[in-house]
Structure 1
Amino acid sequence: MSEPSKPQPLPFIYTFTAGAVAGVTELMLLYPLDVVKTRQQLDTSKNPAGMVTVFKNIIKQEGPTTLYRGIMAPMMMEAPKRAIKFGANGWWGSLFTNNGKKKMTQGLATLTGCCAGATESFVVTPFELVKIRLQDKASAHLYKGPVDVVKQVVQQKGFLGLYQGMEPTFWRHWWWNGGYFGSIYSIKAMLPKAKGKNGEMLNNLAAGTCGGFVGTVINTPFDVVKSRLQLHATGEWTYPALIRIAREEGFGALYKGFAPKVLRLAPGGGVLLLVVEALSSVFRKHLGPPYI
């Protein structure tokens, strides 16, 4: 008896939709933590305020709406960003496994994630630059909003000015996606086989959350460098900047903003995978064979 054929990958529009809905859901739930994280990363003092203190100070001094300052840039970015994250991961996975003819391994899953992150970085860099400029307390007053940030940057530095910080953004996404998708592959293999829809949801949430945690541990130093280079345009390369920050401010400076970042991206990674898998299941049932 021949083995049943594997379901075909979903058409791009369905992958795009699932990724977009997942990204917007995660963003709306956890964005305030991203604002706190950015403030901590941009603080160059040797005794920076803790996460709770920064959170309280923002609300007290600037008002609670500040916790959603700069959200329009990432909101506009979420649909293409998350679609590319999961779509590129699928594309690279098909390439490395020769459309499933070669078995996926831990190493290939990690490499696939890294390449998906590299692909994603080309899309997100301009949006990240806009977000950082609006989140920074010292520079936010210089701009009327996201469109004004773009206008001023292009006027001052040309279109390529929107890609300031491209190199550290590349490494940030390379390492986060490698840790995220590589961990998901490993953790799913260790989890007991799901019984029913609830079991599948719990497995996806657990695997995505652990993947988000691992990715965040790996990529936070690159995120610190990215935030600073996008704001200050020092012209440094990522790895020399990592060494300089550690030397001048201590190794712990490379993990400034880690608490709010991991509190967002660990459960956020779980939310992403949960929503994507749930919507993909709905789409497969709607389309029928050969997608189920």
Structure 2
Amino acid sequence: MAAAEAKPLPFIYQYPLDVVKTRIQLQTGKGLGDEGYNGMLDCFRKIIRNEGAKTLYRGINAPILMEAPKRATKFAANDAWSKFYRNLFGVTKMDQKLSVLSGASAGATESFVVVPFELVKIRLQDRAQAGKYNGMVDCFQKIVRQEGILALYNGLEATIARHVTWNAGYFGCIFQVREQLPAAANKSQQIRNDIISGTIGGTVGTILNTPFDVVKSRIQNSPRIAGSIPKYNWVLPAVGTVLREEGFAALYKGFLPKVLRLGPGGGILLVVYTGIIDFFRTMRGEA
């Protein structure tokens, strides 16, 4: 089984939440002023009023293009890691520990596909950076030309931390919650169990990984300038900087729009994934 940080089908409806999340995460310091965002609804209101509703979809091309390779890598990697760990530990069935381990490993693998798309998305979503780039392709070209091709992997360390913790929390909760729920006697009960366990898993995963997501956004939004060291560069020092300058609560900036997207998204994804697996099993005559 594989996890994902967002369900692709309703992605176009969820994306404004991602824009709002990023804007709030990129706010530094405690004094926000009139231009600052005082929460999710205030951010929505100010973006629409000052920049227009279409801004809520700025940068959407990058994550749309990311969806297919991201899902394929996640599903394939999780299957491969599950088999690897079962063979390594000499067991035939997955348990909670192996589910967490294989999910975390799949998340780390997936990160290498995700980072360039995420970096371009962050740059386009930020109000200050967006004016520098005329769309996704122009953003990609300017980053490579001005900062070097390796700059596309800025934030890889933080992305790995974000995906590992989300997948570990998601898989661990799914396994545990499913064990506590009544066994499904029919398809509707299976869907119910998947929605409940996936939503709880997505929520717990979001609680675990939001601090890494905050610093990832800031690292990827820091252009590389020759001869200077960015304020937010590596994940643990960046976490320390946020704690020291803004306090613990700042590590959870953007949590509400993030969990509103990824909590239910985790449940929907699990339902869809289970349905796809059942479909192919029926086609192969395994059902």
- Taking structure 1 as the reference length, what is the TM-score of the superposition? 0.88
Partner deviation per Cα, 1:188-247 (whole Å, 9 max, x = no partner): 111111121111111111111111101000000000000000001426211111111011
Structure 2 match to 1:211: 201
For residues 258 and 163 of structure 1, the distance between their equivalents in structure 2, rounded to whole angstroms, comes to 24
| Alpha-carbon shift at residue 31 of structure 1 (Å) | 1.2
Distance 2:111 2:254 in 1: 21
- Which of 257, 260, 265 is equivalent to 1:260? 257
What residue in structure 2 maps to residue 127 of structure 1? 117
For 1:66, give the aligned amino acid. T
Match of 1:276, as an amino acid? Y
Per the TM alignment, residue 29 of structure 1 is displaced from its structure 2 partner at its CA by 3.0
Could you report, residue by residue, the CA deviation over 1:231-289 in whole angstroms, capped at 9, with x for unpaired residues? 0142621111111101100110000000000010001111111111112222322x223
8 Å Cα contact 2:115-2:155 kept in structure 1: yes
The aligned residue for residue 210 of structure 2 is 220
Distance 2:45 2:117 in 1: 26
How far apart are the structure 2 equivalents of 1:187 and 1:84? 26
* Mapping of residues 225-264 of structure 1, within 5 Å: 225-233=215-223, 234=230, 236-264=233-261
**Matched-pair contact (CA < 8 Å) for 1:26–1:272:** no
User: Is 1:147 aligned to residue 137 of structure 2?
Assistant: yes
Mapped to 2, the partners of 1:203 and 1:96 lie a distance apart of: 26
1:29 alignment partner AA:
Y
Distance 2:110 2:195 in 1: 22
Aligned: 1:176 with 2:166: yes
Is the counterpart of residue 81 in structure 1 residue 81 in structure 2?
no
Quick check: 2:77–2:109 contact (8 Å CA) kept in 1?
yes
Q: Distance in 1 between matches of 2:91 and 2:219?
A: 42
* 1:52 and 2:41 correspond: yes
Residue among 75, 80, 85 paired with 1:91:
80
Q: Distance in 2 between matches of 1:185 and 1:90?
A: 16
Cα distance in 1 between the residues matched to 2:275 and 2:237: 42
1:155-185 Cα deviation digits (max 9, x unpaired): 1122211111111111111111111111111
Residue 52 of structure 2: aligned partner: 63
> Equivalents in 1 of 2:259, 2:121: separation in Å?
19
The residue type paired with residue 115 of structure 2 is T
Unpaired runs of 5+ in structure 1? 1-8, 10-14
Residue 32 (structure 1) aligned with residue 21 (structure 2): no
Contact map agreement 1:73 1:128 (CA 8 A) in 2: yes
For the Cα contact (< 8 Å) 2:119–2:220, is it kept in 1?
yes
Question: How far does the alpha carbon of each residue in 1:77-121 deviate from its partner, in whole angstroms, 9 at most, with x for none?
Answer: 011112222221221111111298433222211111110110010
Q: For residue 140 of structure 1, what is the amino acid of its counterpart?
A: A
Other-structure match for 2:183 = 193
Identify the residue that residue 226 of structure 2 maps to in structure 1.
none
- The offset of 1:58, in angstroms, is 1.1
Q: Which amino acid aligns with 2:64?
A: M
8 Å Cα contact 1:220/1:255 also seen in 2 = yes
Q: Which runs of 5+ in 2 are unaligned?
A: 32-36, 224-229
Between 1:237-246 and 1:258-267, the stretch displaced more is 237-246
Shift of 1:70: 0.9
Partner of 1:138: 128
Deviates further, 85-94 or 33-42 = 85-94
In percent, how many aligned pairs have the same letter?
53
Q: Tell me whether 1:106 sits opposite 2:96 in the alignment.
A: yes
- TM-score norm. by structure 2 comes to 0.90
In the aligned structure 2, how far is the partner of 1:283 from the partner of 1:32? Answer: 34
* Cα distance in 2, alignment partners of residues 195 and 66 from structure 1: 46
Aligned pair count reads 273
Asked whether 1:41 is paired with 2:30, we answer no
